[in-house]
Structure 1
Amino acid sequence: MTTQLGSRTDRVQYLDGIRAIAILAVISVHWAHPYLPYFPGGYVGVDIFFVLSGFLITSILWRGTTPASLAFRYGTFLKRRVRRLYPALIGLLAVATLAMAVLNFPQSVSGAAGDALLASVQAGTFVKGLDLTQMVMFGHTWSLSVEWIFYLLWPLGLYWARGRGVSAGRLAVVTIALAAALYIVALPGTGEWFYYGPFARSGQLLVGCAAALWMLSARPPRFAVAPWLRTVILLTALAALLVWVLWGSNEKLPPYRFLGFPLVTVASVALVVLGSVWHGNRVVGLFEVAPLALLGRVSYSLYLWHLVPMQVLSHERLGLPMPVLAAIGVALAVVLTALSYRFLEVPFLRARAPKRRSGQRPAPRLLPAETTTATTTATTTATAPEGSHP
């Protein structure tokens, strides 16, 4: 069976649209929930990012056919991850520390600098027991620590399996079994450990990995259903996410652990996988609209910087009405995100592009009108950023 595809630009925009939904969910719980009875489940935006990250990273790693040694490929991958994530993170740590010192936050200058140092360590390795509530502008970097555990371990396992001839389909089965085991192991722990800890989160990343491997297997799924049923399935997945964002429970309570976590994980996989295959569907088109795609492209910088206006523009410090503070806060977040993306993300993304010698012609970019589902996934991820963390 073949699947009609749109342009690669549209397909990358679709993934960016999913990122946009995820970052809007995170912002809703931080910006709106303190003042409204809605959006208590917005924290699941991080869940969406983890699933998408596992899907994209695995697609990129499996596609690589370079004859270079494992050590070289592994080192190159990690260097790209550092170049992708750390410039914007270091910018946040420096600017936020300075702001906390200038605005006389409860922390001293040395305390603010210490928080920034802890955040940078936390972003590279999970530190259980770190008091996130005191790290007013840095606490959300916990998600990067989970990502780094994934970056350090998963490529080695994938390279090892592929080097021994393990098929994508067989590895997908092993991966989904491991994901389920990690989820079960994490269930008896505290709500804080389940949400912030590496076990359940690694399981979520591995679900995305298994989905990518399944799509890249020799016999990829066909999903041959009627167009109207495609719309129903995608709308159901999107509705499940939105309902939980609007009315879901606190992330540290049992309902999230036993219902919200698996619900959001399955819905995210459905949107990522089925939306990539069913290009041209009306629901898929919603994710490809330009404003949503743009928001998805800048989602990492927005994720890093969105807490800064909340801390700087407090009513107690400025005495301004809340609507005025909200308007200024949104404007400040837009400016900080735009500057971070332009100067701390784009230059390092461009640095990965191979340079052509003078007079050398660029390689042709070909996209057949029809291709198999496996090729669809490879094409989608070929132009997508490595990873999907906001």
Structure 2
Amino acid sequence: MRAIAVIPVILFHAGFSTFSGGFVGVDVFFVISGYLITSIILAELEQGTFSIVNFYERRARRILPALFTVMFVSLPFAWMWLFPSDMKDFSQSLVSVSLFASNVLFWLESGYFETAAELKPLLHTWSLGVEEQYYILFPLFLMLVWRFRNRWILGAIIAIGVISLGVAQYASSNYPSANFYLLPTRAWELMIGGGLAFVIKYGNSHVGSIINSKLIKETFGLLGLLLIGYAVLAYDKETPFPSVYALVPTLGTALVILFATTETSAGRLLANKPLVFVGLISYSAYLWHQPLFAFARHHNSSGVNEEIWTLLIVTTFIFAFVSWRFIEKPFRNKHQTSRSQAFSLALIFSVLFIVVGIGGHVTSGFLYRLNDDQNAILAFANYDKSPVYREGSCFLKPEQDYAEFAEWCEDDSASDASILLWGDSHAAALSYGLRAQHGNVTQFTASGCPPIKGFDNYTRVHCKGVNEYVLERISHIKPEYIFLHANWLYAKEYAEVIELDKTLSVISSVSPQSKIYVVGGVPQWQPSLPVRVLRAGMDLSSGNILKMDRGVEEEIVSMDALIGSQLVGTDAVFLSAIDEFCNENGCLAVVKDNEEFTLIAWDYGHLTAAGSELMAKGLIEHLKQ
């Protein structure tokens, strides 16, 4: 079962679209963990041999040696390949992992403009944080309620699970980041495993005849595997998670544990030697894959091809075998490593990582590693976008709804023909340039909300209401010009079909005299433009042309073509942002602004003030034609 859990996770993080729901492997792990830990604790409580110290020792021996090895090996690569902002994030994660709180850190870092998840080498340790917090609390809970015995303990487990699932369902729509990372909304998955352990140990007299039915075992064992497989193949980034959707893989896991014995087809499949071997090394494989993938993405800014991905996956399992054989096994053997040695090493490495982590935090990612010119470029990572984008007033944050648009977002100046700008954070970036080049610009922009009627994204719960509000304001204002702009690639992630033509039809019906311009996506850089400029050996006073990653460029051009095709038969005009910034040699990366050179974007594609003005000049020219 551990193999069934870890393989989809690795393939998902490697970007294989077939395994779009591979993240559910973590949920399978949670059920397995809940089952195994509860089984062990119940057996020892029954025998009167349970010791909280012994329990924590076993968990430390199981978790820490391989984890600390991966963290220690990651340090030199982080030093060589991570620029200060990413190094600061990595340093903070060293501290949080050592304190069993990495899930809390990554929740706090989960804002829209934060580093992409796939670039964080220790991001996957969030699940260990959840488990470690569970390991601290759950044994104490069982010890406290043990005197009430079977029926009441199972009832308490069920109650905790139901409450946790209810909270997760609510939070999946209202607090998606906290819902994903934190223990209260994950506890029910562990409780499924815990309740299952309780039923298997004490419920034989009631359910034994059902469980021991050969037909039942065969049917439900296979059903469990099918449920897990369905979630792996059918779920994707748009699936609210965890929520009731997570019942599919978690209950599937429970069915497999309960029914897939060696007498069944599912049991025989899971008992084959290759899967058993992968299961043995699954913990180490899980630990190694994310740092390998993240550092590969950092080191290969132009993209990681399929051959490299294959090599990385093979390397993951090689490293996993080595660390299982020479790290995990010896430290789990009390005859090879004593309790005092295990705790001493754990303490030494914890202190080491905390000291290094604090050092990385207070020095802003060991900023002194770079020279002044390099630091000037990387300073864009801390670009103050709020006044440029008018964040919180005309550019709504994820938690804000349309009622929080400021009144002055609607410009009623009579000096120029009225322009209404509608879109997401990329449109907010464009707003500065339009305001600088033209009076009378109304700005309605919201984080993660492309200008598409009916657009629904569970991570941006206010998008639908915001877009309905903008359409209502368009019918009232009836502006001369309307600009629709967004990161259309982001929109495509959450909408299988971008039905822009329907949006245009509504605009034309409520404001028929308005001239509509749909602006294509701006250049995008992986992992960010400042990093790409540095890796190209450029500075702020030299060459200003840089090639986008070919894959990203092809995606943007393809999306532009798709958008253009939806404008056929309408009065709307498509304007290419790529044409404003790029030619056959590459795209503008550095531009002159008030006698100084500056980058056109401060992250992967959000424009700086100078970049926004440059783009707006070209767009305003089209109004004069």
- Find out whether 1:59 has 2:39 as its counterpart: yes
Q: Partner of 1:279 in structure 2?
A: 262
- Find out whether 1:233 has 2:215 as its counterpart: no
Q: Partner of 1:373 in structure 2?
A: none
Q: Note the alpha carbon deviations across 1:265-320, whole angstroms, 9 max, x for none.
A: 21111111222xx4311221000001100101111110011023323334973979
Amino acid at match of 1:153: L
Amino acid at match of 2:56: L
Structure 1 residues 112 and 249 mapped into 2: Cα distance closer, same or farther (>3 Å)? closer
Q: CA deviation at 1:245?
A: 0.5
Q: CA deviation at 1:330?
A: 2.4
- Find out whether 1:136 has 2:136 as its counterpart: no
Q: CA deviation at 1:205?
A: 0.5
Residue of structure 2 aligned with 1:195, choices 180, 197, 207: 180
Q: Partner of 1:208 in structure 2?
A: 193
Task: Give the whole-Å Cα distance in 2 for the aligned partners of 1:103 and 1:125.
Answer: 24
Q: CA deviation at 1:185?
A: 2.1
Q: CA deviation at 1:82?
A: 1.4
Residue of structure 2 aligned with 1:49, choices 19, 25, 29: 29
Task: Give the whole-Å Cα distance in 2 for the aligned partners of 1:30 and 1:311.
Answer: 10
Greater CA drift, 264-273 or 189-198: 189-198
Greater CA drift, 186-195 or 284-293: 186-195
Task: Give the whole-Å Cα distance in 1 for the aligned partners of 2:196 and 2:32.
Answer: 10
Q: Partner of 1:358 in structure 2?
A: none
Q: Partner of 1:177 in structure 2?
A: 159
| Alignment TM-score, normalising by the size of structure 2 | 0.48
Structure 1 residues 103 and 75 mapped into 2: Cα distance closer, same or farther (>3 Å)? same
Amino acid at match of 1:172: L
- Find out whether 1:262 has 2:247 as its counterpart: yes
Q: Note the alpha carbon deviations across 1:179-199, whole angstroms, 9 max, x for none.
A: 011111232222222221211
Task: Give the whole-Å Cα distance in 2 for the aligned partners of 1:67 and 1:240.
Answer: 38
Considering only CA atoms, is the larger Rg found in Structure 1 or Structure 2?
Answer: 2
* 1:113-192 equivalences in 2 (<5 Å): 113-123=91-101, 126-127=104-105, 128-131=107-110, 133=116, 136-162=120-146, 164=147, 166-189=148-171, 190-192=175-177
Conserved in 2, the CA contact under 8 Å of 1:119 and 1:139? no
Conserved in 1, the CA contact under 8 Å of 2:161 and 2:188? yes
Q: Partner of 1:79 in structure 2?
A: 57
Amino acid at match of 1:296: G
Task: Give the whole-Å Cα distance in 2 for the aligned partners of 1:258 and 1:312.
Answer: 31
Task: Give the whole-Å Cα distance in 2 for the aligned partners of 1:315 and 1:156.
Answer: 42
Greater CA drift, 205-214 or 318-327: 318-327
Task: Give the whole-Å Cα distance in 2 for the aligned partners of 1:249 and 1:108.
Answer: 27
Structure 1 residues 353 and 214 mapped into 2: Cα distance closer, same or farther (>3 Å)? farther
Q: Note the alpha carbon deviations across 1:316-359, whole angstroms, 9 max, x for none.
A: 7397982331232123212321222122211111127999xxxx
Q: Note the alpha carbon deviations across 1:155-208, whole angstroms, 9 max, x for none.
A: 11212222x2x3334422221122011111232222222221211211110111
Q: Partner of 1:221 in structure 2?
A: 207
Conserved in 1, the CA contact under 8 Å of 2:224 and 2:255? yes
Structure 1 residues 307 and 258 mapped into 2: Cα distance closer, same or farther (>3 Å)? closer
Amino acid at match of 2:33: S
Task: Give the whole-Å Cα distance in 1 for the aligned partners of 2:87 and 2:298.
Answer: 22
Conserved in 1, the CA contact under 8 Å of 2:169 and 2:244? no
Q: Partner of 1:101 in structure 2?
A: 79
Task: Give the whole-Å Cα distance in 2 for the aligned partners of 1:87 and 1:175.
Answer: 31
Q: Partner of 2:489 in structure 1?
A: none
Amino acid at match of 2:223: T
Q: Partner of 2:12 in structure 1?
A: 29
Conserved in 1, the CA contact under 8 Å of 2:100 and 2:132? no
Unpaired segments ≥5 residues, structure 1: 1-17, 356-390
Q: CA deviation at 1:43?
A: 0.6
Structure 1 residues 217 and 333 mapped into 2: Cα distance closer, same or farther (>3 Å)? same
- Find out whether 1:89 has 2:75 as its counterpart: no
Partner SS for 1:188: helix
Structure 1 residues 66 and 316 mapped into 2: Cα distance closer, same or farther (>3 Å)? closer
Q: Note the alpha carbon deviations across 1:14-35, whole angstroms, 9 max, x for none.
A: xxxx1100001211211143xx
Q: CA deviation at 1:116?
A: 2.2
Q: Quick check: which one's helix share is greater?
A: 1
Task: Give the whole-Å Cα distance in 2 for the aligned partners of 1:125 and 1:138.
Answer: 10
Conserved in 2, the CA contact under 8 Å of 1:301 and 1:340? yes
Conserved in 2, the CA contact under 8 Å of 1:168 and 1:214? no
Q: Note the alpha carbon deviations across 1:101-132, whole angstroms, 9 max, x for none.
A: 12355657666434322333355774441448
Q: CA deviation at 1:141?
A: 0.4
Partner SS for 1:167: helix
Task: Give the whole-Å Cα distance in 2 for the aligned partners of 1:124 and 1:351.
Answer: 28
Identity of aligned residues (%): 25
Partner SS for 1:99: helix
Q: CA deviation at 1:42?
A: 0.7
Q: Partner of 2:3 in structure 1?
A: 20
Partner SS for 2:19: coil
Conserved in 2, the CA contact under 8 Å of 1:27 and 1:306? yes
Task: Give the whole-Å Cα distance in 1 for the aligned partners of 2:337 and 2:308.
Answer: 45
Q: Note the alpha carbon deviations across 1:202-227, whole angstroms, 9 max, x for none.
A: 11101111111111116352125653
Unpaired segments ≥5 residues, structure 2: 339-625
Greater CA drift, 234-243 or 55-64: 234-243
Q: CA deviation at 1:48?
A: 0.6
Task: Give the whole-Å Cα distance in 1 for the aligned partners of 2:164 and 2:170.
Answer: 11
Q: CA deviation at 1:77?
A: 0.8
Q: Partner of 1:12 in structure 2?
A: none
Greater CA drift, 216-225 or 82-91: 216-225
Structure 1 residues 124 and 348 mapped into 2: Cα distance closer, same or farther (>3 Å)? farther
Structure 1 residues 316 and 344 mapped into 2: Cα distance closer, same or farther (>3 Å)? closer
Q: CA deviation at 1:146?
A: 0.8
Structure 1 residues 143 and 322 mapped into 2: Cα distance closer, same or farther (>3 Å)? same
Partner SS for 1:249: coil
Task: Give the whole-Å Cα distance in 2 for the aligned partners of 1:240 and 1:81.
Answer: 30
